[in-house]
Amino acid sequence: MSDALEMRGRVAIVTGGSRGIGRGISQRLLDAGAEVVICGRVEPELLPATPERSAIFVAADVRIPDQIDPVIAAATDRFGRLDLLVNNAGGSPPAEAATASPRFSESILRLNLLAPLVFSQKANAVMQAQAGGGCIVNIASVSGVRPSPGTAAYGAAKAGLLSLTQSLAIEWAPKVRVNAIVAGLLRTEQTGLHYGDEAGVARVAATVPLGRLGEPLDVANACLFLASPLAAYVTGAALLVHGGGERPAFLAAANNT
């Protein structure tokens, strides 16, 4: 299995790859031997790295289509190919649907749905023209498969991303595989924004069947699997990485707990 997960000689782009889930994915790919190009609006002080190599950073706002081309070029000009695109950049601050402005909602949709579409189009053009094709992994969310109160536009965008994944998988087969990871409740730099202090985080973690919040490495390992030959017959799939989801509220209500 270790040989099947070897990424040496392969080239990956990870959007939003300098922090949170994206950093975990970038580091895991580097550890597996891949060359990794990451992008974001601000370069981090410390890039993901191994003793042999570090990720290459390209400043880009993925919401702006013209800024995507230099990221693609950074991979192809230096390494001659592009094997994996991980559409990870995304997110949303809390916002009540009743008062969210059209401009706010549009920006959330642009970041979480339109940017992955445009980036995928540009990556696909490279992958279709090269021997061996390539694969794309979209980082979705449980917000796209259940109600997302407080982040309604984000949930709608992630639901759209899951639909997009299925459509692109059909259109771009057989050379390019396209899959999604449905990420659950995770501990990142943004955890406090949504769950409050450590006591709040602990209460949220208790609702997860596996008894903890996910870590970026949990998503990174799933991403590595989808990019590997072990997933050679997997496309158009949505892999649930959510610790079993959330315990149904009626169980707690019925037991007065």
Task: Report the Cα–Cα distance between both ends of the chain, in Å, rounded.
Answer: 43
Decide if 153 contacts 109 (C-beta within 8 A): yes
Is-catalytic flag, 154? yes
How far is 28 from 223, CA to CA, in rounded Å?
A: 9
If you search the block for the tokens 């916002």, which residue do you land on? 95
Main-chain dihedrals φ then ψ at residue 56, nearest 5 degrees: -95, 130
The structure tokens 């949170």 sit at 20
Alpha carbon of 156 to those of 21, 40, 124, 159: distances in Å?
20, 23, 24, 5
Distance CA 159, CA 56 (A): 31
| Catalytic-role residue among 14, 24, 144, 154 | 154
Give yes or no for a contact between 231 and 223, defined as CB atoms under 8 angstroms apart.
Answer: no
Q: How far apart are CA 249 and CA 170, in angstroms?
A: 37
| Token pair of 67 as six digits | 């800024």
Q: What residues are labeled active site?
A: 154
